[in-house]
Amino acid sequence: MPELPEVETVVRSLAKYLVDRVITGGTVLDGRIVAYPDDTGGFIDKVTRKRIDSIQRRGKYIILELSDPESKQGEEEYELVIHLRMSGKLLYQDKNVPIPAHTCVVFDLDDGCQLRFINIRKFGRMHLVKAGQRELAGGLANLGVEPLSPDFQLQDFIRRLKERSARIKGLLLNQSFLAGMGNIYVDEALFRAGIHPMRKASGLSEAEIARLFKAIRGVLQDGIEHRGTTRKDYVDADGQAGDFQNYLQVYGREGERCKLCSTPIERIKVAGRSSFVCPACQKFER
DNA sequence: CGAGGTACCTGACAGC
DNA sequence: TGCTGTCAGGTACCTC
């Protein structure tokens, strides 16, 4: 479900509730969600009586820093690493609100509320690792550059694209190349840049890459400003839908007219994913 | 390295 | 109404 702007929105909506809360207990309703550690029982024991010091986003991962207020500095510090995959939701709700269907984990908080992970397709995962052990947390340690950070630099981007023969869409979806882009925002960025998704990365001109660089940052920033894209069931921690679906230029618009040139938008398959393009604005050469 | 397939799951929707 | 097929915001793993 969620890509970078949706995950960022979830993190921001959760931060105002979770920071400095203490986890008083919890329940794992479906053990499949706990990818690490192996013993699901130990999972709840380890987070109980921990304080949530911070909540951050890295790519599409959500990271809660946990520490034990009772223990000495540096001891018993954990990171709870969460990936929502296609259909995961994190909701902050009063404990008296009925538990939604498909809830896999519930964390009890010291303010009488609960953090609940709803995981409809059961693809979402959590890893609980000791601070500094991020290599145990799935793909987190292998993420590429963060596109909205100052580390994302045009000259670097040009150099790295020039050495790859893969199709640009697949590369932008590759989380170890660039962190956080998914199917919607890749299609939107490529449209803004006027680049066909099947073009080879190494075949793009510097001018095209410069447009793409700007388009990636622009589309992600706009997505965040609009609190994400809700096509189906994405909501933030308050259960509130996003708004960016009203501003999509190509994604999901097969057969509708391009907003720039009125050519009908086409749907094709690229990198195994449905891809939406304007065949006039995004020409496929080579 | 790159491409394509499968698998993991549930639900929504189109078509018959 | 109800069946079947297809599709979905993601990623890991396999083969060629």
CA–CA separation, A147 vs A31, rounded Å? 33
Per residue in A184-211, pLDDT (tens digit) is 999 999 999 999 999 999 999 999 999 9
The SS3 of residue A142 is helix
CA of A102 to C1' of B11 (A): 12
Q: Which of A60, A89, A134, A227 is catalytic?
A: A60
pLDDT, position A74: 65
What pTM did the predictor assign? Answer: 0.97
SS3 readout for A17-39: HHCCCEEEEEEECCHHHEEECCC
CA–CA separation, A195 vs A254, rounded Å? 17
Whether the beta carbon of A255 falls within 7 A of nucleic chain B: the reply is: no
Q: Pick out chain A residues at pLDDT < 50.
A: none
Phi, psi of A61 (to 5 degrees): -90, 145
pLDDT, position A246: 96
Q: Strand B: which residues 164-183 of A lie within 7 A (CB)?
A: 164-167, 170-171
CA–CA separation, A186 vs A169, rounded Å? 7
What is the sign of the dihedral through the CA atoms of A90, A95, A100 and A106?
positive
pLDDT, position A178: 98
List the nucleotides on chain B closer than 7 A to a protein CB: 1-6, 8-12
pLDDT, position A249: 97
| Bridge-based pairing state of the strands A125-130 and A34-36 | parallel
Strands (E), chain A: 22-28, 34-36, 50-58, 61-67, 78-83, 88-94, 103-109, 113-119, 125-130, 266-270, 273-277
Q: Determine the straight-line distance between the first and last CA of chain A, rounded to whole angstroms.
A: 32
Is A286 designated active site? no
Is A2 designated active site? yes
- Pick out the nucleotide with least CA–C1' distance to A102: B10
CA of A100 to C1' of C12 (A): 28
pLDDT, position A1: 66
CA–CA separation, A94 vs A239, rounded Å? 13
pLDDT, position A172: 98
List the nucleotides on chain C closer than 7 A to a protein CB: 7-12
pLDDT, position A81: 98
pLDDT, position A41: 74
pLDDT, position A286: 58
pLDDT, position A38: 85
